[in-house]
C-alpha cells in the first residue's frame, strides 16, 4: 500500500471508501475539477453529487498501491473492487494539488 500519501489525497481515499461526502470538504478545493469516464465534474457540490451516485452504483473501495510524482502531478495507482464488470481493476488517479487541497483529478485506466 502507498503509505506516503499527501494529506489531501489520504482524506480523498478515506472519503471514497467510507462514503462520507463531508470528507470531500476537507480535501477538495471549492472549484476543483474531476475527469472520469469521459465526463467532467466542476465544483465541490457537483463532485460530491457525482461521488454519491458512483458509490451507490458501484459500492466500490479504493486501495492505493503506488505513488509517483510526474510533471508536477501526483499519480496514485489504485486497486478498485466493487459491483462492476472486471472487478477488481487498477486505475490511475492523477491529482493536482494547490494550497493543501485537490484542485484537479483525472481518473484513467
Query: For the chain, how far is it from start to end, CA to CA, in angstroms?
Result: 19
Task: Give the tens place of pLDDT for each residue, 42-91.
Answer: 999 999 999 999 999 999 999 999 999 999 999 999 999 999 999 999 99
CATH number (domain holding residue 16): 3.10.450.50
The SS3 of residue 97 is strand
**Model pTM?**
0.94
Is the preceding peptide bond at 88 cis, omega within 30 degrees of 0? yes
Q: In this structure, what C-alpha cell is assigned to residue 37?
A: 469516464
Tell whether 32 is covered by a domain: yes
Tell whether 49 is covered by a domain: yes
Domain extent, residue 20, equals 7-108
Tell whether 75 is covered by a domain: yes
Computed on alpha carbons and rounded to an integer, the radius of gyration of the chain in Å comes to: 13
Tell whether 2 is covered by a domain: no
Amino acid at each position: 500500500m502507498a503509505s506516503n500519501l499527501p494529506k489531501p489525497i489520504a482524506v480523498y481515499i478515506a472519503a471514497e471508501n467510507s462514503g462520507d461526502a463531508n470528507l470531500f470538504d476537507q480535501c477538495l478545493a471549492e472549484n476543483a475539477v474531476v475527469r472520469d469516464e469521459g465526463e467532467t465534474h466542476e465544483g465541490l457540490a457537483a463532485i460530491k453529487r457525482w461521488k454519491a451516485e458512483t458509490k451507490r452504483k458501484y459500492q466500490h473501495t479504493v486501495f492505493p498501491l503506488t505513488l509517483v510524482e510526474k510533471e508536477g502531478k501526483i499519480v496514485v495507482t489504485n486497486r478498485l473492487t466493487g459491483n462492476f464488470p472486471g472487478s477488481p481493476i487498477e486505475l490511475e488517479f492523477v491529482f493536482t494539488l494547490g494550497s493543501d487541497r485537490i484542485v484537479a483529478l483525472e481518473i484513467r485506466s
